[in-house]
Amino acid sequence: MTCADVERVLPELIDGAPDGALRTDFEIHLKACSACSDLVSDLKLIASEARQLAATEEPASRVWVRIAAELRAEGLVHDQASEQDSWRTRPVLVPASPQSRWSAWWLVPVAAALMAAASYVVSHKSVPQVARQQAPVPSVTSPTTATPAANAPSVPAPSPQQLAQRKSPKPIEVTGPAVGSVVEPEPSAEDQQFLSEVSTRAPSMRATYENQLRAVNADILETQAYVDRNPGDVDARQHLMDAYQQKALLYQIALDRIQ
C-alpha cells in the first residue's frame, strides 16, 4: 500500500472498519511510514477532542417557557379539564431550573414569601382566614416540586414577623358564586417595586410585565376564591400553588431579561 492508497481508504478505515486484507495492509503501511502514521494520529486526536465539546450546556429554562407559550397561542395544546372550572384550563408554566441564578437580592425574599404563602394556603388555610390574619404563618409542608426560591443560595426564608410586615393584597371580595367574580386588587408593594425596577432598567418592557402581572394576579385571586368555596379540592389547592409559582417565574424571567 502506498501513501496515496492510504489517503484514498482513510475515510473508510480510520474509524474502525472491519478487519480484512485492506486493514492489514493499512496497518503495515502505518508502521513503516511516519508521515501517514502522524496524519492518522492527528485525525484521531481531533475526533476524540471534539467529543469533549458535546452536550455540556443546556438551554435556559426560558426556552421551554417560550415554546409552551407559542404552542398555546397557536392552539396546538389543550387541556381535557371541564369548561366549568375555568381555573383548571389556565396554563401552568414549568418551574425554572433550580440552577437558575438570582442576581437582584430584593426579589429573592419576595419569591420566597410568595412560595411560603402559597404553601401555607394550600396546606392549611382558606383565603378568608388568611385575610383576617393579615399574613400567613409559614408552617410549610414539603413542596412537591423544586422551586427557584427554595433553591436560591444563601438567602434565609423570611420570618413570620417579616411576612406580617409586608403589605398583603386587599382581602378578596367574592361577589357571587360564579368563578371569576373577584375584584382586581391593587398591586402589592412587591409588585410595585418590581414594576418600578423594570421601568428603570427596561422601560420598553414595563407594559408587557404589567399586563402579565395583572393576569397572574387575577389567576391567583380567582383560584383563591375557588379554593375558598371548595376547601377540600386538592387539585384546586395545587393549582393555586402553581399560580404562585408562575408569579415567581415571571419575576425570574424579568430578571434574566432586564439584567
Partner 1 sequence: MTDPKQAITEAEAIEQAKQGHEAAFEVLYHLHKRRVYSLCLRMVSNPAQAEDLAQEAFLQLFRKIGTFRGESAFSTWLHRMTVNVVLMQLRKKGLPVVSLEETLEADDEAPRKEFGTKDVKLTGSIDRLQLQRAIDRLPPGYKTVFVLHDVEGFEHNEIAQIVGCSIGNSKSQLHKARLKLRDYLKFMRAEKAKTG
Binding site for partner 1 (CB under 8 A): 7, 10-12, 14-15, 35, 38-39, 41-43, 45-47, 49-60, 62-64, 66-68, 70-72, 74, 76-79, 91-92, 94-95, 144-145, 238, 241-242, 245
Residue 165 C-beta: closest distance to partner 1, Å? 30
Provide the CA 18 distance to its chain's centre, in angstroms. Answer: 47
Residue 9 C-beta: closest distance to partner 1, Å? 10
Nearer to partner 1, 21 or 50 (CB): 50
Q: How far apart are CA 146 and CA 248, in angstroms?
A: 12
Residue 238 C-beta: closest distance to partner 1, Å? 7
Nearer to partner 1, 146 or 207 (CB): 146
Residue 69 C-beta: closest distance to partner 1, Å? 11
Nearer to partner 1, 59 or 232 (CB): 59
C-alpha grid cell for residue 41? 494520529
Provide the CA 81 distance to its chain's centre, in angstroms. Answer: 23
The residues, any chain, with a CB within 8 Å of residue 234's CB and separated by 6 or more, are none
Nearer to partner 1, 10 or 155 (CB): 10
Nearer to partner 1, 195 or 205 (CB): 205
Q: How far apart are CA 223 and CA 122, in angstroms?
A: 11
Residue 95 C-beta: closest distance to partner 1, Å? 7
Q: Counting beta carbons within 10 angstroms of the beta carbon of residue 85, is it exposed (0 to 12), middle (13 to 18) or buried (19 or more)?
A: middle
Q: How far apart are CA 183 and CA 214, in angstroms?
A: 12
Q: How far apart are the first and last CA of the chain?
A: 62
